[in-house]
Amino acid sequence: MAEMSWAAGTQCVAKGDHRKPKPGELAYHKGDILTIIETSTKKGFYKAKHNSSGEEGLINSTNVREREALRVDPSLSLMPWFHGKISGPDAVCKLQPAEDGLFLVRESIRHPGDYVLCVAVSGKVIHYRVIYQDNKLTIDNTQYFYNLIDMIEFYSKNKGSIATTLLKPKQKHGAKSAEVELSKTGWLLDISKLTLGENIGEGEFGAVYEGEYMGQKVAVKTIKCDVTAQAFLQETTVMTKLQHKNLVRLLGVILHKGLHIVTELMTKGNLANFVRTRGRSVINSVQLLHFSLDVCEGMEYLESKKLVHRDLAARNVLVSDDNVAKVSDFGLTKLDSKVSDNVKLPVKWTAPEALKKEKFSTKSDVWSYGVLLWEIFSYGRQPYPKMSLSEVKEKVEGGYRMEAPEDCPPAVYSLMRICWEQEPRRRPTFHKLREKLERETGKLNPDLGSEGREGIRCGSGC
């Protein structure tokens, strides 16, 4: 076998238990995630950090494998047993040979909006009508569920009032079980190791909670609606590929009554609120420049992966405990440049060509970055103050651009302006922007090299 070599930061999954480590070695259990720190002088060994316990030690590379990214795959399904609109006789055919507990769910043809749970038992197929009423699903008017995933989870563990517990899903042709794929690649986390804490935010599709996963502080986004959860699987798939200090890191997902996306906890919330609530008296322009540079570096990384964010704004940038800004919310991130669905666009942040012709690109992200710079340097003001969305669309198309925020360094305002070039090609790349920002940061802090950077991040007041 060719000798592998893992770079620092590589995430690995333990293939088995290592309960009795020798001195200097790390203990772990099968499935634990470990981050490579560096190669060791001992052949075949790496120095690694246990992602949950934070402990460091040596690991033998043959006992772990690299955590793979998930491939973006539309057939990846949270509901592989869902067959859509098929008839009762079709369902019976699909459940042959009718082993006990083999099941599928179909949409009811006779009662639109309802579903049917078809289960094989004693060589026959029983069809249970699943009634949708008051936003809930029920078979027996006793057990109620928010969604199908929830219902299947329940009847897989409990017989309730049906003939048998559900033992084996009959997968729709071409569907791949997200649960199986996530588990194989090491991204499926265990709900029993999660402690949920307080609600810390409300997203468009679900609440965000603080929590702890095996000793590590995490944020958990819960998505209860099964259709939305399926759509978010895409976001998660994209996140499995990305590792950068300025992107909010995905730890994994939990499948339980919907989808839970577990990420690192960014204790200081979103950047818009952060700068708004602290204001000029606490945050100076050097610190604002650092946030700008953080976001730019995260975006430069996305640019290098040819990924387009599409929803870059200060509300989607989060601030860590040690005041590092990281880009989050990859809900709309796509490899291609066309919007397939009718998503609501954040007009004040979206480049004109993206608004008009749905042409999204890294260069439309650069436009949004210009607006984000404006938000940062105006301490969290709403862009285009007092203008309606239609007014913004019309005026920006006609060449109108926002003025510089109060006390904004002229060099930063010129960066905003080049981000807002009408012609996408004339806008800089994130790579170029980062170079320019670094120069500005250096000018404002002539005494500080890159090592000094942490020191001048927001002081105790932040």
Q: Which residues bind ligand ADP (CB under 6 A)?
A: 200-201, 203-205, 208, 219, 221, 248, 263, 265-266, 269-270, 315, 318, 328-329
**Segment (H or E) for 317:** strand 317-319
Token duo for residue 210? 């603080």
Minimum CB separation of residue 248 from ligand ADP in Å reads: 5
- Which phi-psi region, left, alpha or beta, contains residue 290 (left: φ > 0; alpha: ψ -120 to 50)? alpha
DSSP readout, 267-331? TT-BHHHHHHHH-TTT--HHHHHHHHHHHHHHHHHHHHTT-B-S--SGGGEEE-TTS-EEE---T
Which residues, at least 6 apart from 2, have a Cβ–Cβ distance to it below 8 Å?
none
Helices of type H across 23-108:
88-94
Minimum CB separation of residue 228 from ligand ADP in Å reads: 10
Minimum CB separation of residue 387 from ligand ADP in Å reads: 22
Taking the least distance from each CB to ligand ADP, the nearer of 134 and 202 is 202
Taking the least distance from each CB to ligand ADP, the nearer of 21 and 203 is 203
3-class state of residue 66 by DSSP: strand
The 8-class DSSP code of residue 221 comes to: E
Q: How many whole angstroms separate alpha carbon 51 and alpha carbon 33?
A: 6
Three-state SS string over 424-435 comes to: HHHCCCHHHHHH
Minimum CB separation of residue 3 from ligand ADP in Å reads: 37
Is 407 among the catalytic positions? no
**Which of 226, 311, 329, 365 does the annotation list as catalytic?**
311
Taking the least distance from each CB to ligand ADP, the nearer of 269 and 424 is 269
Taking the least distance from each CB to ligand ADP, the nearer of 102 and 194 is 194
Taking the least distance from each CB to ligand ADP, the nearer of 172 and 221 is 221
Minimum CB separation of residue 206 from ligand ADP in Å reads: 7
Terminal C-alpha separation, the chain: 51
- Compute the residue count for the chain: 462
Q: How many whole angstroms separate alpha carbon 260 and alpha carbon 250?
A: 11
Minimum CB separation of residue 316 from ligand ADP in Å reads: 6
The 8-class DSSP code of residue 422 comes to: S
Taking the least distance from each CB to ligand ADP, the nearer of 176 and 381 is 381
Token duo for residue 33? 């995630």
**Segment (H or E) for 77:** strand 76-77
| Active site residue ranges | 311
